[in-house]
Structure formats: structure tokens, C-alpha cells
Amino acid sequence: MTDLLPINRALISVSDKSGLAELVKALISAKVEIVSTGSTAAKIRDLGAEVTDVSKVTNFAEMLDGRVKTLHPNIHAGILADKSNTSHLAQLQSAGIAAFDLVVVNLYPFTQTIAAGADFATAIENIDIGGPAMVRAAAKNFNSIAVVTDPVQYDVVIAQLSNGGFSYETRLELAKAAFAHTAKYDSAIATWLTKAEMGFVSLVGTKTQDLRYGENPQQHAALYQSSNNGIASAKQLQGKELSFNNLVDADAAWRAAQEHLEPTVAIIKHTNPCGLATAKTIAAAYLKAHNCDPVSAFGAVIATNREVDEEFASHNADIFTEVIAAPSFSTGALEKFASRKNLRLLQVAPGSDQIEIKQISGGFLVQQPDHFQSAGDDLSNWHLVSGSAANDEVLADLQFAWRSVRAVKSNAIVLAKDLATVGIGMGQVNRVDSVRLAVSRAGDRANGAVAASDAFFPFADGVSELIAAGVTAIVQPGGSVRDAEVIAAAAEAGVTMYLTGVRHFWH
């Protein structure tokens, strides 16, 4: 048996019929016999090709509303026979079964069906059974057959046909892709069926890029994509190759910007914000965010929740920036950025994952994302516990600070004024140190600012530090055993304090 596998007989059953015309044309040219099912067979006939229905091969009509079509020895023996095994070949001949050389199958669109909000019964009917069985059979028997699971692979098929058949290396690569395809498919089904209790969770993704290295040069790394939104699926419009750290920071920036409803810019270093701001335009928001901490903004990663326009690009022109991630970029902005060859621009599709996963030694933790879904995140449910009720302007700043503090690593303190951060304290091992860091970064801007804390103040010292810096209003979850002392410190100073009843740790 030679390494090259000629293609004489193909089995085709596809839900996604894109690219089928080009594939069938190549098969006709190579004089390949085609066996097919249902709507795929009808489509192939429409393309002018001769095709044998599966029911003619099995001598059995499809049944159970199409649930059973290809689950038959005349199909699976033709796929699974090892052509280097004389016993297998003799058994095929005795049974009158012809072997297949190529299986082209893509599966019922289960993930697209549930993403569209289909009801339970419809989703169940879009679980493919015969398709995965044929794909796995062909992938197992790659030494004797080639398997194709994605229209993007049709160019490979056409090229191999023109060369007289499939090489061993190509068959092996296609088999690897096929097993990955069915694993991902089954994982999606199991995850969907057990989503309420998180009974089954798997990490399934497609490698889209090898990275130069990981967090440090001695670490190997790669990027895997598991959905069609977010940073992992972003389209890079220009710039140098993305690094592991670029992607991690871009994700943190994207997450921070998307938490806000109005035009917002997040500037990130080492996953923490050094500037966040909201304004009427994205360009104005960028200026406000940059002015929070211009020193730290050097070499930062930026994300927006609106299209980046030419004015934004002009403001950023002289600022060294690693990455800018946005839903889109205007033509004028792209023209402005074009001369900065190292600047990476990412066009990101909005959307959020259904679960969050954190790896720990020996396993991983799974949780629902924190998207301000609690009643306490609505300012109408905040409880005023000291000082006078804030006016609309102060309330807007408090709400901005509250939505911003979740993007800061705990212990987190955000000082804000005019819908922009003026001081951020992050990642300290006690809350009063985070307060001091935020106040020191704000300097004189702390006077008249508002503050948000991602969790309760365990002692009054943190609140006292904020009051001494000139903070006029504070929002925090509450819930400390010393809440009375904390509230008393604010009341004594006449400082407005609201409790939300919900915390936003981020580790």
C-alpha cells in the first residue's frame, strides 16, 4: 500500500453547504463516485453531478424523521475497513460492500441553534448522531480514508485530488481536526444539558496562533478560541504580533470598558486600570482617562466600547501604546494609525461568555460572570446611611465609580470626579493601603471626589483617610461587623455614604 490514497468513492453529508459547488466540481473532474444523503444529495444533483442515495447503498429507507440514515453496516464497514488488512478486504467483498476513500461531513448546527434561543425540543433535534459516528469512524481509520469536517478544508481536498490522492500527512492532520471537531461538538451538548447545575464543563478551543512565548520568555504559549466574540476572536487590523501579556491586558481593558453604557475608555497596565472615563464622545473619554495617570499610560493597552474615530487617533498620536481594542475603527482613524507600524489594533465583536473559568492545581473553578446583575448594583436600591442625599451630579460620579471598581484587582478603591477616575488603589493586602494608594495617585484631585470600594471597610481607618483627603461621598457594599463605626466616621464628617449590599471582588 503506497502512502498516497487515491479517491475513487466519497460519502458526503453536510448541513453547511457553503463551498459544496467547488468541491463537487473537483470530484466530478477526478471521476469520483459520490454517495450522499437527503438535502445534500438533492443539492449535488442540482449542481449537475450523479449521486447515489445512501438508501440505495443500505437497501433501507431512512426512518424516524431522518434520525436513522447512515447507521448501517454497508456504510460503516465501508468507512472502517483497513485497506492494508487482507481479511478486512475479503470480508467487504463477501458482504458486497464497497469501501469509501473520502468522508465529507459537517454536523447539525447545534451551537448555532441554542445561540438563536431555540426551545428544548428543537435543540434536541439538532443533536447530530449519524454525522459524528461517520466522522469518528473515518478519523480512526485515517490510514485508509480521508475525513473532512469543515468547508474551509475543501481547498485541501481539491489540491490533493489534483495531485492524485491524499498523502499520509494530510490524512493524519484531517483526522486530528475531525476528533477535535467531534470533541468540541459533544462538549457543547453536555455543557448545555447540565448548565443549570454546572454538571459538566470542559475547556475546548481551537488553536488560532502560536505565541512567541508566554508570560515570560521561558514559557511556551498559544492562543485558543472558544467563541466568536471577545478578545480571543478579535481581528487584528495592524501592528506587531500580539504577545501573551498583550492579550491578557487587552482582555482586562475590554472587560473594563464594556461595563459602562456611555462612551467609555479604559487604559490598562498589568491588568489594572490606570485610567477610566466616560464622556459624550469617545475622544473626550480618552483624554479624561489618559489624564488620570499619564505616566502609567505610557506603553499601556486601551479599550473602548464605541468606534474609535479620527479625533481619538489624533489625541493618541504622540502616546506610546501597545494595543487599542474597539468594536470598530473609522476610516479616518485607521489612516491616522497607519504610520505607527508597531501599534496593534484589534476589532472586537461584543459579547460575553456564559461562564468564567480559573485554573487551579489539579482542576479548575467555574463561576457565573459578574455583570452587575444584582439588585444592589441599581442605584435606586442603594441605602443612604450617612450625610445628605447626593445630587444628580454626585450620584452619576458614584455610579461611575461603582461600575469602575469591579475592573480593579482587590482590594480595590476608585476615586472619581466628573465621570473619570482620578486615583486608583489596587491589589493591596489591606483596604486602608489601597485607600492610601488611590489618594496618593489622586493628589489634590481627591478633594471633592467620590470614592467606591469593591468590598466593605473592615475598620473606620480607610474611611477616615478618604475624608482627610477631601472625598465627599462614598459607595461601598457594607456588611462589616464594624459597619456602625464606619458609618459613624462618615456621619461625623458629614460625608454622604451609600451601601449597596453587594460586593465586586476580582482576584
Give the end of a domain, one of 146, 165, 192: 192
For residue 233, CA distances in Å to 46, 195, 204, 207, 254 come to 36, 23, 14, 11, 13
Residues 283 and 422 in one domain: no
Domain CATH number, residue 493: 3.40.140.20
Q: Which of 140, 184, 195, 315 is catalytic?
A: 140
Extract the C-alpha cell encoding 464. Answer: 477616615
Q: Does 25 lie in the same domain as 80? A: yes
- 358 part of a folded domain: no
pLDDT band per the 50, 70, 90 thresholds, residue 226: confident
Residue 127 included in any domain: yes
Q: Quick check: 79 and 103 in contact, CB under 8 A?
A: yes
* Residue 31 a catalytic site member: no
Q: Are residues 381 and 331 in the same domain?
A: no
Listed range (138-142, 276-280, 443-447) with the worst mean pLDDT: 138-142
Q: How many CA atoms lie within 13 A of 414 on its CB side?
A: 32
Residues 340 and 418 in one domain: no
pLDDT given at position 366: 81
CA separation for the pair 259, 272 (Å, rounded): 15
361 found inside a domain:
no
The reply to whether 220 falls in a domain is: no
Residues 6+ apart with CB under 8 A from 295: none
Do both 331 and 452 map to the same domain?
A: no
Quick one: 186 and 51 in the same domain? yes
Distance CA 428, CA 430 (A): 5
Q: Is residue 204 part of a domain?
A: no
SS3 call for 485: helix
Q: What is the pLDDT of residues 98-111, one digit of tens each?
A: 889 999 988 877 87
- Please check the confidence at residue 229 and state whether its pLDDT lies above 90: no
Last residue of some domain: 192, 214, 245?
192
pLDDT-derived band at 5 (thresholds 50, 70, 90) equals confident
Are 181 and 263 contained in the same domain?
no
Cα–Cα distance, 400 to 398 (Å, whole number):
5
Q: Which of 171, 98, 104 is nearest to 140 (CA)?
A: 171
Residue where a domain terminates, one of 130, 164, 192 = 192
Give the active site residue among 83, 184, 270, 315. 270
Round to whole Å and give the CA distance between 448 and 75: 77
57-88: pLDDT as tens digits: 877 777 687 677 777 888 888 898 888 888 99
> Does residue 220 have an active-site annotation?
no
Domain range for 389 is 375-497
| 389 and 447 co-located in one domain | yes
Asked whether residue 2 carries a pLDDT value surpassing 60, the answer given is no
Q: What is the pLDDT of residues 341-390, one digit of tens each?
A: 999 999 999 887 777 888 889 888 888 888 878 888 898 999 999 999 99
d(CA 277, CA 259): 12
Q: Are residues 279 and 393 in the same domain?
A: no
Whether residue 352 is contained in a domain is answered as no
Q: Specify whether 178 is located in the same domain as 234.
A: no
Cβ contact 279:285 at 8 Å:
yes
The whole-angstrom separation of Cα 177 and Cα 246 is: 28
- Is 461 found in the same domain as 313? no
Q: Which residues does 34 contact at the CB level (< 8 Å), separation at least 6?
A: 10, 12, 24, 27, 44, 49, 50, 51, 52
Residues 310 and 381 in one domain: no
The tally of domains found in the chain comes to 3
pTM metric for this prediction: 0.75
